[in-house]
């Protein structure tokens, strides 16, 4: 009987086998990809802290219209009135007195070609692969460096369809000014919570996207946020309006070099999804592990519309992140696929919220979380089905994986249902990697480390399979970085 | 106001699920009750609880109970009791009453206690209880609580206890009425292989409110917990179920499971559910599931095709939700009593 054992060289050329070999050594993986920095050659920055004077300086720097200046000052008042949350991870290490809320990089204006972007900034984004991705596979890119957008471009053929993709501040002053004023911080008002109020006071940068009725943007748009300055905050605002019957996939990425002082990210994303429209919003979050990530994202979905959240959270020291979907029209739908990886020194409190506010709405939530090396991962969710949300359905599935005995994982899902005519199902599981599975993979020649990395990558597949290939590869690289040795 | 039923790990305040606020601003006297089957058990009235433990309703409530100055009815079980002990609480003659009780079950001993709280005619009455338990190694205690108050009664059923190695505690509760009912249990699974099972059946109707907090605190290795809640909401009934499986470091090999099934019968109900799993230990298995909604369309269609009206189908399904729990009562007489009650007062 012929032996059943197989050798790769029986099937592949020698050079191809070399390419296929998985990197198993820590030094093979280029950690410097994210953790590099440039000396702060900023043109201008405000003092640390949060005062009315600082808000007025930012407003003057931005040449705000009067209504926005007043909005900022009112938001500052609300920030001072609202208490810190007491239900989540500690943010004791965040002292606003030490945070610089506005840093303008050393570039005169926003550019539309990479050649015009200052060398160090261009180099940063080149290392991160942004210009290359734009060339290969994106319809448009916005790149933010500290508090300002330094690059923004959209492919001609996409712009010809009537799609607007511009920085929010240009939109605020130009022909879309009324549209911005009508929508800005209406979905996430400053009263929502303390860091929404902070955002309202000091926001800077971010993008405005408008997709007209019936237009399908087949290739994704992307914004990338890079925070270079130590002790600084980034407060970009993303506003997307997708009109009736339109389609858009928007991708955001973020990273920062690691410092010994705290950085803060309190961005805000507001998404308006029109009747029968679809918006897919993908994020791979890889902030450095000194970052306090207190981000707010919310989508309002009209009749027959659909919001798809794809969310990978790998970075930050502390995260509070709960993208919310408000299903406001009959038949509106929300899907949320998320993976959170909490490693050493991280306390990541993530999840999602859905409000069913109309009949026949549906929501599907599928999340995975992983805790390792003392990391703390908390899945927090709410599904609220209102009285008028007849014939609505919701299904929630959350799975948590503990990789070792020094980490922690909590699940805190809540359901509030106010009509009999609704169907809600929920399931959650928590456990560890099966010894049998590791043993099987090791019997196939893998090291224990490689086996665990492979299993965790597979565990996170709910998000990986929804991302474009390049981003799925990046996500899997991040998982392997975390799994394969103590780094950073 | 008094804070009760605090979630071990709070969440967003706007959900209003972190705890309940209520008050007991009335003078409470000792509730009287008839008892059968306890002749072989040592029972005494003490000034204070001997068992020190956390309880489901929480510290503020327990402190209030202890400060009442009422006797603690203390039972020591030292053998394996063959028959259940029946306790029937009569609430007719007095206004607001309370009962403090503790059960200490010795190594290898076992008992089944069936408590019936019934007062169909009472007006605007407060009935507050606290039952603590301490089970030594390999001990077993089953507590069955049948709550059949009037629509105007405010009831607090609070439990808490400690389980040593291989001890098993089984709590079966049926809540079949009441204006405002607060249930709480905190089981501290201290010993290796200790086990806790909780079965709750309920029907909430009219303008009634049911507020629940169960906590399984896994400390010992290989401890197990199974929490099942099955119930029906009607009219403007409101129910909030909090169930927590809490795995502490060191409880390797432990398993915890929660399941809630709720049948929603009317449009003005409020159903709130928050099942937590808190995990500080790698080598555990935890799961929870919830299924909430009205009767299944395909099942309804099938039954209508057999000639049953929608009303009858609804009543059958509601009864079935409670029957699941009734079937777990380890006493035929009690099962029959509850079923007869439900014939007169449908779930």
* ipTM, 2 dp: 0.94
B264–chain A Cβ distance below 8 A for any pair: yes
Residues A285-298: what's their mean pLDDT?
Answer: 92
Inter-chain CB proximity A410 and B281 less than 8 Å: no
Name the token pair of B292.
Answer: 């909430």
CB A437 within 8 A of CB A455: yes
A interface mutation test: which of B262, B277, B286 has the most A CBs within 10 A?
Answer: B277
Q: For residues B325 and B211, what is the distance between their CA atoms, to the nearest angstrom?
A: 18
Residues A331-360: what's their mean pLDDT?
Answer: 96
What pLDDT sits at residue B93?
A: 57
Name the token pair of B170.
Answer: 């089984």
CB A414 within 8 A of CB B288: no
pLDDT in tens, B155-205: 999 999 999 999 999 999 999 988 899 999 999 999 999 999 999 999 999
Nearest-Å Rg of the Cα atoms of chain B is 20
Q: For residues B245 and B286, what is the distance between their CA atoms, to the nearest angstrom?
A: 8
Using a CB-CB cut-off of 8 Å, the residues of chain B touching A382 are 11-12, 15
CB A351 within 8 A of CB A297: no
Nearest to B15 among A86, A407, A414 (CB): A414
Using a CB-CB cut-off of 8 Å, the residues of chain A touching B248 are none
Residue count (chain A): 488
pLDDT band at A83 (very low <50, low <70, confident <90, very high): very high
pLDDT band at B122 (very low <50, low <70, confident <90, very high): low
Inter-chain CB proximity A426 and B280 less than 8 Å: no
What pLDDT sits at residue A8?
A: 33
Strand partners, A380: A351, A412
Name the token pair of B141.
Answer: 């205690």
CB A385 within 8 A of CB A416: yes
> Which residues lie below 8 Å from residue B325, measured CB to CB, with a gap of 6+?
B172, B174, B199, B200, B201, B228, B230
> Bigger pLDDT: A258 or A172?
A172
User: What is the residue-wise DSSP string for A218-277?
Assistant: -S-EEEEEE--STTBEE--EEEEEE-TT-EEEEEEEEE----SS-EEE--EEEEEE-TT-
A interface mutation test: which of B218, B245, B285, B293 has the most A CBs within 10 A?
Answer: B293
B interface mutation test: which of A193, A411, A438, A456 has the most B CBs within 10 A?
Answer: A411
Inter-chain CB proximity A410 and B9 less than 8 Å: yes
Side-chain half-sphere of A431: how many Cα atoms within 13 Å? 15
Coil, strand or helix at A132: helix
Segment (H or E) for B110: strand B110-119
Which chain B residue's Cα is nearest to A427?
Answer: B289
CB A359 within 8 A of CB A391: yes
pLDDT above 70 coverage of chain B, percent:
98
Q: For residues A278 and B17, what is the distance between their CA atoms, to the nearest angstrom?
A: 33
Mean pLDDT of chain A: 86
Using a CB-CB cut-off of 8 Å, the residues of chain B touching A408 are 279-280
Residues A330-346: what's their mean pLDDT?
Answer: 95
Nearest alpha carbon to residue A65 among A165, A152, A184? A184
Whether residue A43 has pLDDT greater than 80: no
Phi, psi for B329 (deg, rounded to 5): -70, 125
pLDDT in tens, B17-30: 999 999 877 778 88
Burial (0-12, 13-18, 19+ Cβ within 10 Å), A204 = buried
Residues A381-392: what's their mean pLDDT?
Answer: 96
Segment (H or E) for B224: strand B224-233
Using a CB-CB cut-off of 8 Å, the residues of chain B touching A402 are 279, 281-282
B interface mutation test: which of A394, A410, A421, A425 has the most B CBs within 10 A?
Answer: A410
pLDDT band at A427 (very low <50, low <70, confident <90, very high): very high
CB B180 within 8 A of CB B154: yes
> Bigger pLDDT: A454 or B188?
B188
Q: For residues B334 and B347, what is the distance between their CA atoms, to the nearest angstrom?
A: 17
Which residues of A make CB contacts under 8 Å with B? 86-87, 380, 382, 387, 400, 402-405, 407-432
pLDDT band at A13 (very low <50, low <70, confident <90, very high): very low
CB B155 within 8 A of CB B326: no
pLDDT band at A10 (very low <50, low <70, confident <90, very high): very low
Residues A127-139: what's their mean pLDDT?
Answer: 80
Task: Give how far Cα B99 sits from Cα of B41, B130, B151, B159, Å.
Answer: 19, 6, 20, 12
Q: For residues A197 and A94, what is the distance between their CA atoms, to the nearest angstrom?
A: 16
First to last CA, chain B: 32
B310–chain A Cβ distance below 8 A for any pair: no
Name the token pair of B88.
Answer: 């029937």
Residues A401-417: what's their mean pLDDT?
Answer: 94
Mean pLDDT of chain B: 92
Inter-chain CB proximity A429 and B286 less than 8 Å: yes
Inter-chain CB proximity A432 and B283 less than 8 Å: yes
Q: For residues B8 and B1, what is the distance between their CA atoms, to the nearest angstrom?
A: 20
Whether residue B105 has pLDDT greater than 70: yes
What pLDDT sits at residue A454?
A: 85
Phi-psi region of B324 (alpha: psi -120 to 50; beta: other; left: phi over 0): alpha
* pTM, rounded to two decimals: 0.90
Nearest to A429 among B283, B287, B293 (CB): B287
**For tokens 């603690």, what's the residue?**
B72
User: What is the residue-wise DSSP string for B139-199?
Assistant: -EEEEEEEEEE-TT-EEEEEEEEEE-TT-EEEEEEEE---SEEEEEEEEEE-STT-EEEEE
Which chain B residue's Cα is nearest to A417?
Answer: B271
What pLDDT sits at residue B94?
A: 63
Which chain B residue's Cα is nearest to A416?
Answer: B272
Inter-chain CB proximity A427 and B265 less than 8 Å: no
What pLDDT sits at residue B319?
A: 86
CB A343 within 8 A of CB A288: no
Whether residue A44 has pLDDT greater than 70: yes
Nearest to B11 among A380, A428, A430 (CB): A380
Strands A408-417 vs B270-279: parallel, antiparallel or unpaired: antiparallel
What pLDDT sits at residue B23?
A: 81
Nearest alpha carbon to residue A230 among A256, A199, A253? A256
A interface mutation test: which of B249, B264, B279, B299 has the most A CBs within 10 A?
Answer: B279
**B218–chain A nearest CA distance, Å:** 14
Inter-chain CB proximity A415 and B271 less than 8 Å: yes
Name the token pair of A42.
Answer: 């900023």
**For tokens 């309940």, what's the residue?**
B20
Whether residue A458 has pLDDT greater than 90: no
Name the token pair of A264.
Answer: 């803060």
Inter-chain CB proximity B282 and A432 less than 8 Å: yes
Whether residue A6 has pLDDT greater than 50: no
pLDDT band at A33 (very low <50, low <70, confident <90, very high): low
Whether residue A30 has pLDDT greater than 50: no
Task: Give how far Cα B286 sits from Cα of A399, A428, B247, B262, B275, Å.
Answer: 10, 8, 9, 21, 11
pLDDT in tens, B40-82: 788 999 999 999 999 999 999 999 999 999 999 999 999 999 9
Q: For residues B205 and B157, what is the distance between their CA atoms, to the nearest angstrom?
A: 19
**For tokens 């008094």, what's the residue?**
B2
Q: For residues A285 and B318, what is the distance between their CA atoms, to the nearest angstrom?
A: 47
pLDDT in tens, A157-183: 889 999 999 999 889 998 899 999 999
Inter-chain CB proximity A87 and B10 less than 8 Å: yes
> Bigger pLDDT: B127 or B164?
B164
Strands B20-22 vs B2-4: parallel, antiparallel or unpaired: antiparallel
């Amino acid at each position: 009987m012929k032996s059943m054992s197989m050798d790769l060289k029986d099937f592949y050329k020698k050079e191809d086998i070399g390419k296929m070999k998985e990197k198993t050594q820590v030094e093979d993986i280029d950690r410097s990809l994210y953790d590099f920095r440039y000396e702060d050659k900023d043109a201008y920055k405000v003092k640390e802290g949060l005062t009315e004077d600082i808000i007025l300086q930012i407003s003057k720097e931005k040449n705000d219209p009067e209504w926005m200046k007043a909005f900022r000052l009112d938001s500052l008042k609300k920030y001072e009135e609202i208490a810190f949350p007491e239900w989540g991870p500690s943010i004791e290490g965040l002292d606003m007195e030490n945070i610089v809320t506005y840093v303008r990089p050393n570039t005169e204006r926003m550019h539309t070609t990479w050649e015009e972007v200052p060398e160090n900034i261009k180099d940063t984004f080149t290392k991160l692969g942004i210009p290359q991705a734009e060339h290969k596979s994106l319809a448009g890119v916005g790149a933010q460096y500290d508090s300002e957008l330094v690059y923004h471009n959209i492919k001609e053929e996409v712009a010809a369809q009537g799609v607007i993709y511009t920085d929010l501040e240009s939109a605020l002053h130009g022909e879309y000014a009324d549209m911005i004023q009508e929508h800005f911080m209406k979905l996430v008002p400053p009263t929502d919570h303390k860091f929404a109020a902070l955002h309202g006071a000091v926001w800077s940068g971010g993008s405005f996207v408008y997709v007209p009725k019936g237009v399908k943007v087949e290739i994704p748009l992307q914004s990338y946020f890079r925070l270079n300055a130590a002790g600084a905050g980034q407060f970009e605002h993303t506003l997307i309006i997708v009109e009736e019957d339109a389609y858009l996939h928007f991708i955001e990425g973020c990273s920062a070099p690691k410092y010994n002082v705290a950085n803060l990210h309190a961005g805000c994303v507001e998404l308006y999804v029109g009747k029968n429209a679809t918006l897919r919003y993908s994020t791979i979050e890889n902030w450095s592990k000194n970052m306090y990530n207190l981000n707010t994202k919310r989508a309002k979905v009209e009749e027959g519309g659909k919001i798809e959240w794809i969310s990978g959270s790998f970075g930050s020291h502390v995260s509070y992140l709960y993208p919310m979907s408000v299903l406001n029209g009959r038949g509106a739908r929300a899907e949320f696929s998320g993976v959170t990886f909490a490693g050493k020194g991280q306390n990541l409190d993530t999840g999602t919220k859905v409000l069913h506010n109309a009949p026949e709405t549906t929501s599907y939530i599928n999340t995975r979380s992983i805790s390792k090396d003392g990391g703390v991962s908390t899945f927090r969710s709410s599904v609220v089905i209102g009285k008028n949300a007849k014939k609505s359905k919701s299904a929630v599935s959350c799975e948590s994986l503990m990789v070792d005995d020094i980490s922690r994982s909590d699940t805190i899902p809540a359901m509030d249902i106010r009509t009999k005519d609704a169907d809600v199902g929920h399931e959650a599981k928590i456990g560890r990697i099966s010894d049998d599975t590791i043993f099987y993979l090791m019997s196939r020649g893998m090291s224990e480390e490689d086996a665990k990395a492979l299993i965790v990558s597979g565990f996170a597949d709910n998000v990986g399979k929804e991302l474009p290939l390049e981003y799925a590869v990046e996500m899997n690289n991040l998982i392997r970085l975390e799994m394969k040795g103590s780094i950073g | 106001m008094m804070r009760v039923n605090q979630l071990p790990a709070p969440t967003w305040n706007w959900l209003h699920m972190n705890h309940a606020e209520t008050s007991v601003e009335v003078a409470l006297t000792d509730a009287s009750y008839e008892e059968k089957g306890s002749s072989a058990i040592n029972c005494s009235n003490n000034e204070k609880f001997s068992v020190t433990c956390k309880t489901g309703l929480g510290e503020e409530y327990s402190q209030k109970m202890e400060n009442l100055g009422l006797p603690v009815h203390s039972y020591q079980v030292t053998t394996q009791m063959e028959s259940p002990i029946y306790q029937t609480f009569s609430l007719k003659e007095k206004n607001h009453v309370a009962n403090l009780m503790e059960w200490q079950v010795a190594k290898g001993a076992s008992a089944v206690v069936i408590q019936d709280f019934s007062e169909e005619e009472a007006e605007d009455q407060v009935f507050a209880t606290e039952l603590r338990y301490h089970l030594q190694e390999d001990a077993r205690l089953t507590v069955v609580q049948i709550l059949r108050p009037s629509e105007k009664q405010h009831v607090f059923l609070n439990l808490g206890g400690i389980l040593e190695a291989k001890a098993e505690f089984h709590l079966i509760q049926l809540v079949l009425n009441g204006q405002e009912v607060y249930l709480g249990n905190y089981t501290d699974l201290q010993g290796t292989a200790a086990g806790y099972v909780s079965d709750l059946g309920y029907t909430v109707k009219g303008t009634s409110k049911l507020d629940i907090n169960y906590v399984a605190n896994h400390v010992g290795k290989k401890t197990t917990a199974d929490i099942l809640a099955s119930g029906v909401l009607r009219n403007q009934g409101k129910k909030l179920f909090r169930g927590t499986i809490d795995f502490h470091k060191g409880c390797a090999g432990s398993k915890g499971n929660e399941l809630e099934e709720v049948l929603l019968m009317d449009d003005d109900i409020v159903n709130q559910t928050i099942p937590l799993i808190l995990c500080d230990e790698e080598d555990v298995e935890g799961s929870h599931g919830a299924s909430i909604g009205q009767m299944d369309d395909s099942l309804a269609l099938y039954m209508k095709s057999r000639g049953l009206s929608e009303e009858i189908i609804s009543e059958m399904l509601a009864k079935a939700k409670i029957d699941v729990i009734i079937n777990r009562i380890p006493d035929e007489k009690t099962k029959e009593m509850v079923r007869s009650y439900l014939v007169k007062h449908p779930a």
